[in-house]
A and B are shown apart, each in its own frame.
Chain A
Amino acid sequence: MYFEAELQGRKYKVDVHEERHSWKVSLQLEGQDWKHYDVSKTDFQHAEEYVSFLFEGKSYLIDVLGQDTEYTVFARNSFRTIKIFNDEMLLHESLKKGGGAGSNVELKAGMPGKIIEIFAKEGEVVKAGKPLLIMEAMKMENEMRASSDVKIKQICVKQGDSVENGAVLIKFEKPS
C-alpha cells in the first residue's frame, strides 16, 4: 500500500507490504534514496494499551492515536503528528491549507477549550493580524488572529461554548 506522508514539514513517500511474518516498510524522504525496513511481526506487538516495538536494537512502547489521514505517535514521551494519505493529490491539498486562520477556509480549535469572547462578525472583512476570538483552556487565554485578509462567512460558536479539539470555529471566504 502506497502512502504520501508529512512529518514536521518534511514529505515522505511510504510503501507498506504485509507478509506472513513481517512488515516490509519503505520510506523515502523527498530528494533522498528509498530506505527499506523489514519489521518482524513479533517485533511490532500489540499489547493492551500500546504497541511494543523492537527496532534497531531499541525497545519502544508506542501508542498511535488517530485515524484516516492524521496520526499522532507517542514513544518515550516524545510525540509526532504525521499526515498520511493514500493519494498524492490529497496530501498536496492538505498542505496548501496549512497556513493558519485566513489561508484556511476554516478556523479550527487547536485544543479543547471554552470560547471567552468573539470579536469577528459575520460578513465582516478583516485584515491579517486582527484578533478573531479568545479561547480559554486550563486557565490560559489564547487569542486567535486572522493570518491573512479574509471575509467572515460564518461564526459557528457563541460566547461561553465549550469546544472539542478540531471543532470548526469560524468559516471564511476570500474578500471580494
Chain B
Amino acid sequence: MKTMHSHEISTPQNAPFKKILIANRGEIAIRVTRACRELGIGTVAVFSDADRESLHVFLADEAYHIGPSPSKESYLNYKKIIEVAKAAGVDAIHPGYGFLSENPIFVRACKEAGITFIGPTPENMESMGDKLSAKALMKKAGVPLVPGSDGGVETVEEALAVVKKIGLPIIIKATAGGGGKGMRVVRNESEIESAFRACRSEGQNYFANPTVYIERFINDPKHIEIQVFGDTHGNVVHLFERECSVQRRHQKIIEESPSVSVPMEVKLKMGEAAVRAAKSIGYVGAGTIEFIFDNQTKEFFFMEMNTRLQVEHPITELVIGVDLVKEQIFVAKGQPLSFKQENIKQKGHAIEARICAEDPTTYKPHPGQIRACRHPQGPFLRIDSYAYPGYEVPIYYDPMIAKVITWGDTREEAIDRMQRALAEFVLTGIKTNIVLHRTILGHEKFLDGSYTTQFIEKNFEVLEPQMFREVNDKVFLIAAAITAFEDRKSKDVRRFNVRSNWRSLSRKIALRT
C-alpha cells in the first residue's frame, strides 16, 4: 500500500543522510540505529560513564563518551553533543524520546551548527510545550477540550450556571490546589453549593488562594492518543489511535492499537481533530495528540501534544505498516510523506508491554546486574530491548529495559501471543514487572476492553496475589535448599557474583548477532 521513496536497495550513495548521531541511549537509540542501517546511513552513538557497556554503544558504527552518568551532565548536555556531532562529521541528529527531544534550544543549536534536527520545528515545540497556551490554541482550532468554566468561578450562582451548561458530574478544583486538597467531585445538584464553598475555603486555607474552576468529571476515563505525521510541504496525516490506559504511577505500561472502546465513526473524528490540531501549528514530523476519552459517552477531549516519537510507536508501525523512524528521516530531509491519508488502514491488532526493572508489586525501581537473559522468539513478535546477560542496569535512567510487541490478526490472538512471549522471556538477577503484565493480560477487565486509567489502582488487590501464583513455593524452597547445600559443601565460584570478564565479553559478542 505504501509508495516508498525509492524501490532501490538502500546504499550509502542514495541515503538521505551520510551519518546520523543518536542523542539518546538504551532501546530507542538501538531502534534509530536500525532504521539508519536499513537506509545505508552511518550511526554515531553517545554514552555517559554509566553506559560504556550499554548495548546501544556496541550496535552503532561509532560511539563517543559525552560525560558523567547523571543525565544533566551527559544526555542533556546539548553543547557537548553538538561538539561530538561536529567532530564526527554527522549531517543529522535524531533525539529519540525524552532527554533533548522536545527542547527548542537544542533544535536551534543544531541549526546554527549546520546539522539537521530530525523532528519538529522549535516553534512547534513551543506552541505545545505550555499546557495552558496549547489548550487555548486547540480551542481556536476547534479541537474539543474538557467542558468547564472559562477560568475562575467566583460565586455559587456562577457555579450553577456552569453546571447548567456542562451537566453533572463535575469536579471543582482549587486553581492553586494539589495533592488531593481543594478538590471535590459533585454528582448531585444539591451538593454543588456545599462543595463549592468547601473547595474555596480549602484553597484559601492550604494555598492562600480561594479561586476555583469547574470541569466535567469523567467517570470512565481512557487514554487514547492519535499518531500524526506532517511534512515540510504542508501535508498532515493521522495514523489512527493507540490506547494507553493501563498505567501505574501515571506512566503507561501496556498499549494497544486499535482500541476496542472507540467506534469507527469516533476514531475518524478523533483523527480529523488531531490533523486539525497539527495543521493549526504547521506541524512537521511525528507527533502524538493525547485525548482523554469518556468511555460512557464516547466523547474525547484534548489533553496535550507530544512533539516527538513515542515509546509505544511500534504498535502503530505493526498495524499500519509504516516505519515511523525512517519516515522521520525522510521528512527531515525535506521529502513529502510517503503515504496519503486514504492509504492508511489499520490491519490486525498490536500490543506492547513495557518491561521495567522494578518490583511488580511496589513499582520501586530495581536496578542491578542481569544474570540470565533469553528474549522470546517466534512469529509476529518484535522485541526492542537493550538487556543482555551480565548487563548492569544503571541507577541513573528510566527503568524500562525492553519492549515486547506482538501482532495478531485479532485482538485475542495478539493477547495470546503476548502471554506466550512473556512466558518465554527469561530475565533473572533483577526484579521485573513481567508477572504484573501477565496478570493484567489475564484480567477480565483487560480482556473485555473496559479498563480505564484507574484499572491497576482499582484492581490491585485482585492482581497482586495472582502475580506469583504460577510457581509453587516449594519450587523456590527446594532450589534454594539444594543450592545452599552445594554452596556449603564446596564453594562453587560459579554461583557467586564473581564473573569472568572473558565470559561476559563472549556473551556480549554473541549477542550482537
Query: Which A residues fall within an 8 A CB radius of B?
Result: 1, 3, 5, 7-8, 10, 12, 14, 16, 18, 23, 25, 27, 35, 37, 39, 44, 46, 49-51, 53, 55, 60-65, 67-68, 71, 73-80, 82, 84, 86, 110-114, 136-140, 142, 162, 165
Q: Are B367 and A138 in contact (CB under 8 A)?
A: yes
Interface residue B480 (Cβ < 8 Å from any Cβ of A): yes
Q: Which residues of B contact A75 (CB under 8 A)?
A: 471, 475-476, 479
What are 14 pairs between A and B in contact, CB < 8 Å? Answer: A5-B480, A44-B479, A49-B374, A49-B389, A53-B479, A64-B480, A67-B495, A68-B487, A73-B475, A77-B422, A77-B434, A82-B477, A84-B480, A112-B367
B439 to chain A, nearest CB (A): 11
Query: Which B residues fall within an 8 A CB radius of A?
Result: 357-358, 364-368, 371-374, 389, 395-399, 422-423, 425-429, 431-432, 434-435, 438, 467-468, 470-471, 473-485, 487-489, 494-497
B281 to chain A, nearest CB (A): 30
B53 to chain A, nearest CB (A): 16
Q: Are B427 and A77 in contact (CB under 8 A)?
A: yes
Q: How far is the CA of A124 from the CA of B494 in the complex (A)?
A: 44
Q: How far is the CA of A168 from the CA of B214 in the complex (A)?
A: 50
Residue among A7, A86, A110, A114 making CB contact with B476, cutoff 8 Å: A7
Q: Are B479 and A114 in contact (CB under 8 A)?
A: no
A23 to chain B, nearest CB (A): 5
Q: Are A78 and B477 in contact (CB under 8 A)?
A: no
Q: Are A16 and B372 in contact (CB under 8 A)?
A: no
Given contacts A49-B372, A63-B429, A77-B422, is CB(A3)–CB(B475) below 8 Å?
A: no
A67 to chain B, nearest CB (A): 6
Residue among A71, A76, A142 making CB contact with B423, cutoff 8 Å: A76
Q: Which residues of B contact A39 (CB under 8 A)?
A: 478, 482
Q: Are B467 and A62 in contact (CB under 8 A)?
A: no
Q: Which residues of B contact A12 (CB under 8 A)?
A: 477
Grouping DSSP codes into helix (H, G, I), strand (E, B) and loop, the B interface class, with mixed when no group exceeds half, is mixed
Residue among B368, B423, B428, B484 making CB contact with A63, cutoff 8 Å: B428
Given contacts A5-B477, A73-B480, is CB(A64)–CB(B429) below 8 Å?
A: no
Residue among B367, B480, B481, B497 making CB contact with A137, cutoff 8 Å: B367
Q: Are A140 and B364 in contact (CB under 8 A)?
A: yes
Q: Which residues of B contact A80 (CB under 8 A)?
A: 468, 473, 476
Q: Which residues of B contact A10 (CB under 8 A)?
A: 473
Q: Which residues of A contact B471 (CB under 8 A)?
A: 60, 75-76, 78
Q: Are B480 and A78 in contact (CB under 8 A)?
A: no
Q: Are A112 and B372 in contact (CB under 8 A)?
A: no
Q: How far is the CA of A139 from the CA of B495 in the complex (A)?
A: 31
Q: Are B398 and A138 in contact (CB under 8 A)?
A: yes
Q: Which residues of A contact B373 (CB under 8 A)?
A: 49
Q: Which residues of A contact B467 (CB under 8 A)?
A: 78
Q: Are A112 and B395 in contact (CB under 8 A)?
A: yes
Q: Which residue of A lies closest to B487 (CB)?
A: A67
Q: Which residue of A lies closest to B429 (CB)?
A: A65
Q: How far is the CA of A42 from the CA of B494 in the complex (A)?
A: 19
Residue among B422, B423, B426, B481 making CB contact with A5, cutoff 8 Å: B481
Q: Which residue of B lies closest to A82 (CB)?
A: B480
Q: Which residues of B contact A73 (CB under 8 A)?
A: 475-476, 479-480
Q: Are B395 and A114 in contact (CB under 8 A)?
A: yes
Q: How far is the CA of A86 from the CA of B485 in the complex (A)?
A: 10
Q: Are B488 and A55 in contact (CB under 8 A)?
A: no
A169 to chain B, nearest CB (A): 15
Q: Are B368 and A78 in contact (CB under 8 A)?
A: no
Q: How far is the CA of A82 from the CA of B422 in the complex (A)?
A: 25
Q: Which residue of B lies closest to A50 (CB)?
A: B372
Q: Which residue of B lies closest to A85 (CB)?
A: B484
Q: Which residues of A contact B358 (CB under 8 A)?
A: 138
Q: Which residue of B lies closest to A35 (CB)?
A: B474
Q: Which residues of A contact B481 (CB under 8 A)?
A: 3, 5, 14, 16, 25, 27, 84
